[in-house]
């Protein structure tokens, strides 16, 4: 991850969003914004990418995210390996990356991070209402970003710390204002 460019995570997450839209049939949208769900709990803005692609269910999240080098994609010299967003994103955002995915009328939440218990990268174990733990939780559709109608994914970069504003004040200051647009263009 440290061999990635400082803003490469933006490209990797955008590419994943494009591929999610292609898998759904090729029509969709991508939004770079801030996470309004997190903003309900804090005043810190966290950078978020939202796509209206195919989305993932809970088991797909578990299977694709829990192994750092698993992608579920074709692995050859000319294909996207599908691990770039995890590697580049977590090197920039060691606090974690939150995934809210919607597919088939259901929502699921998972958090990819460096797990405190064993120091390995994977899904954080989240507590269910009954006290059990799981690598993902089912969430209601009220947690769906307004941009997603039926299916899609929202990924939030939590940053270096709980208090880091990853939306308006990234440490990658060489692009100045409109840093996100300047980099992606």
Q: For the segment 19-63, what is each residue's pLDDT rounded down to a tens digit?
A: 999 999 989 999 999 999 888 888 899 999 999 999 999 999 999
Residue 181 burial class via C-beta count within 10 angstroms: exposed 0-12, middle 13-18, buried 19 and up: exposed
Tell me what pLDDT residue 75 has.
45
Q: For the segment 134-173, what is each residue's pLDDT rounded down to a tens digit?
A: 999 999 999 999 999 999 999 999 998 889 988 886 655 5
Q: Which residues contact 54 (CB under 8 A, 6 or more apart)?
A: 20, 21, 23, 24, 103, 151
Does this model's pTM top 0.85?
yes
Q: Round to whole Å and give the CA distance between 62 and 66.
A: 5
Q: Round to whole Å and give the CA distance between 145 and 79.
A: 30
Q: Once rounded to an integer, what is the mean pLDDT over residues 109-116?
A: 87
Mean pLDDT taken over the chain? 85
Tell me what pLDDT residue 172 has.
56
Angle at 125 between CA 124 and CA 128, to 5 degrees: 135
Q: Once rounded to an integer, what is the mean pLDDT over residues 111-122?
A: 82
Q: Where are the alpha helices (DSSP H) in 4-77?
A: 8-24, 36-39, 58-65
Q: Round to whole Å and give the CA distance between 166 and 159.
A: 6
């Amino acid at each position: 991850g440290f061999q990635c460019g400082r803003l490469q995570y933006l490209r990797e997450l955008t590419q994943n969003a494009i591929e999610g839209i292609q898998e759904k049939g090729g029509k969709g949208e991508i939004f770079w914004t801030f996470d309004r769900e997190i903003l309900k709990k804090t005043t810190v803005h966290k950078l978020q990418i939202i796509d209206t692609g195919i989305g993932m269910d809970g088991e797909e999240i578990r299977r694709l995210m829990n192994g750092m080098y698993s992608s579920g994609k074709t692995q050859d010299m000319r294909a996207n390996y599908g691990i770039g967003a995890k590697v580049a994103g977590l090197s920039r955002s060691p606090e974690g990356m939150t995934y809210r995915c919607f597919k088939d009328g259901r929502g699921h939440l998972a958090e990819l991070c460096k797990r405190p218990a064993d120091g390995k990268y994977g899904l954080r174990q989240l507590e269910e209402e009954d006290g059990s733990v799981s690598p993902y939780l089912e969430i209601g559709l009220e947690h769906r970003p307004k941009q997603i109608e039926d299916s899609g994914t929202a990924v939030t970069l939590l940053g270096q710390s709980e208090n880091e504003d990853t939306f308006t004040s990234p440490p990658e200051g060489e692009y100045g204002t409109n840093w996100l647009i300047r980099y992606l263009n």
